[in-house]
Structure 1
């Protein structure tokens, strides 16, 4: 049955869609007031499709409607549909009027306004005092094509397939992951795969250049072509934009890809819920560094690219089976005249990819530096990664132009307590639990009245938020709560620690923590720690000894740390010794050279 609003459309005096005016009785199609030359068969096809707007009209029905007394081949139908699309400019600049529904027929998909219906006008904003011209405005559905990718996508087939499947069952899916992990790349690849599944296409809403919560509505309106025609108000209120969005989306079947949501997360969460309620045919794929926490949201956490295990692959061919190594090698080859992956360089390439945590942005930026530093040079400067990988593509958005910019963006969105916890935990090299986090973070803050309170609950809350914002990783493979910073993230956090003048305090806290951890391992292991326990201790103990042995450290503490490690390796109990008085100590450290409570965060 025909849709009620479209019955007898051929008898309407005027119908408007896009920039066109259709006058069925006069058999005229006007383009901004100018009549178009349109053959009689193409015009009859247009009338039939407009009369059934929003519905799929079968090929047989179209043939009977346009050629009621003549038997014609289906090729004639295709020819006249093609001619009609050409006249309408269908497909140019994102405009869509007639779609081909495979195996079923054709459908007219542009919104239509009857001459008997009021125009959707833009009201003046009383706050801004903007003035409208006399001409009324209407909203136009003018979608834009998705951006094309210039390089192949590496290692994301499984994620693309999973998310594509999810969108067939869920209307709101959010891709969550750290900066540079490839959320936008995967989202656009999913959109490319699903574009034929949505009658009204896929539309990208890029929020990267918007900074105000109110801008979210404007970004969506712009992406789907909801805009006032010439002669409208200089400023459009959110209420009017939302009215236009509702009018445009409520009867459509499309996918919205909302990219870069983290800095406008509250507004995006509210908007997605509202859109899903008023537009039952719309699905949303969002990307963010944290979940929207919106109703009906399904979160897909995007992992880093795959890197080999602890042992290096046996050959370059075996190494290239891992997507992280494959991406690095392909980008390095593009920037260097030398062959990057050989049997001689295999171990260094794998180590570098591990140090970069399989992060696609970090791998691409490192590949740019291979020609000047070489793979060995990059590995040797692992502690300076954040600064080292500070140059990327000139044309990339600021947040993706370098690893430093990407992390700076995330850091700027953190609350003050979250920034403090993030900076101070950068001294840790291995996994840590809640008790460790509290011991490191609280050191030196109890006497600082200018700092926010750092009790156990505030530290734990900040840590949890850093996990949700993809800045700290929780190891889900173990039953207890175990956390770590990725190497690239840790390098940036260390940079911020030095910048804020907290480096020595945090390093001293870390050295004391390393001593206590060795004591606890010795006691808990009945004087016989396992190799696995010693291996987990090694990165933090080595870093603590290195700092304590430096000019800024404490020689006595360095000796005690070395002795304790020797005892563990020799399977001798670590004897508890008085915590050494440092030769140089900041005033706030003085009261902390005493035993700390062991009941914090059982983890």
Structure 2
């Protein structure tokens, strides 16, 4: 039951965001409605312009004329007397309220799909002890109970990330959908921040705008997200969090950054350095100060013989004071105690801080404090340790021991020396070792920046970038071969490459500018490893390297790139995919011993021809050549591609039973290959073909089972596709009630996931079956526009939907009226569709 406001001829319904004039619904626009609600809530007084701007445009800076435009629109709707301007003060709502409108019973809505259940928090299984932050934990705990967006702000190395990790760890069970950790340290491109957040949450961000997809994905979630290291992407993070704040009312976000986001809904918590004694104190009192306690704990971890006592207390306090109480600087200092001893350590520190006293007045905090600690620590390393440390800076997001040896070692520093030095750097807290059966290592963001500076100063930057790119080339070229080798489950293949995706991006970006050969070689394996829910990044890889594929490259590299790229573009740009696949096939035919790769290229060509112009004869010839090559001994994943190419031919030519039989054979191969994503897609396609074959009940049964499996998972884009296909099946059965319920539930997600091509014809047929011929005609025009923008003709079930809708409409309208309304429909906007298609009245 929801309340409404009534003023004479006008009624305002907040829940539906509509204004009724003489009982007829109007839509004044989103911003105008927000202004109206602000004036209604405060109709007992004058509301200032600034207050209205804050209420209607929260967190945004807008010109005052925007407010004037919305007030003008409201006056046109409600009459000039509705809103009075008080010069110099603001506006006041002036209409007299009628008797309160009765509560309006809302029609029951179909239950929404279950919200996904994020469970991988990305938090370390074992957290580093948190020392000296009891007061901060308490304060932040209280603030998190009051604010949805909280930013921990402080200098680099002050301990923001560790504090945030502990806060999340303590709140694992406080939110229905748990907690999640998003580290942006290795992300350098603003356009990929939204997909990085979605990936860290294990959510699908869809095919369209990644922010819109992310907004829809988190809308039903009740959870706590921490976004770490946001300072280098402030504008994009602020834009994303402002959108999520409005889209997901149960979402709470904790941010760590060196600077605030400057959002209206943000609460900033400035993290100070660890506490230090201000005067001479007793040993017991000193242990209660965070800086002293941290130094003592880290020094004892480095040297079990170390003990804080009256004889060394003053020296420890002096060291901590010289380091400004910064946790990372203290840890670096404490790690040197076994080598130097406490007093020599203090003396070295004094000498270096006199040389590096903070830089200019305008220098950032990191350069005034942490730089001094890093330069001091770097200066205390021996020559081999300095070399390894600065060379490790080329890695982004982490590296394996093998990768470090491959990139860092040279004729003067062999691979085993790298192992020894890496261990020393881990002991001294300059390199972090992540746990696991196969450990990975990483430099924190600030030490990495310093390492890169030193790499450039040593004149090694170009050489190490080249070696890093070569290492990534070797990794992803081998990965491309491994994908088709049958030696590893495909699901495991994706997992094994995930840690090095950031390194792959970094190497690709460098190689595009400096080593085109290497860039093209990296692309196929990297693009595949990005997984299908990271389509925007996949697209970037293919587009960024396309112009680099020239005849000057080795033929096998040209062929491999072209064959893999053809598969990516087959559904999106069939003509381009056909050119690429033909090129690959021609190159492979000229190379002996390339039957398997030629088979793959031919399969790509068959697939691309399916969505291209009428080229069925070529498709049959290519398919025959492909089958003649196939070897039953090849790994299942290779033969799966061939089956998919063949079944698309059968499907397009109407041989649905043969296509379904081949899909079932393909599912067997995909199961043997350990390829769960392909199995999921295959189930959707089988149900689609059952519908195409006229077995409506069988299709519905499959779709219902698949929908139940996907509910409550993170596969929201796949779930949406299944629900839209199920809608088509319900319509084929004539069940408009089930179809309408699904479409009403799905339409907001259709817009977010850019899936109109799967929904438009269903909407037209629903209107036709509900005897709304004028609406159906316009929606058929809209559907034509959607398919044209997609670059392909309708697929079989969508085409049948459209044909059935047009047949029903022509029985009720004359030809001229139908064509006129259909033409009008071609100009409809996506935002117009919900009110038109899902209304109950025919839109004449």
TM-score (norm 2): 0.30
**TM-score in terms of structure 1 length:** 0.41
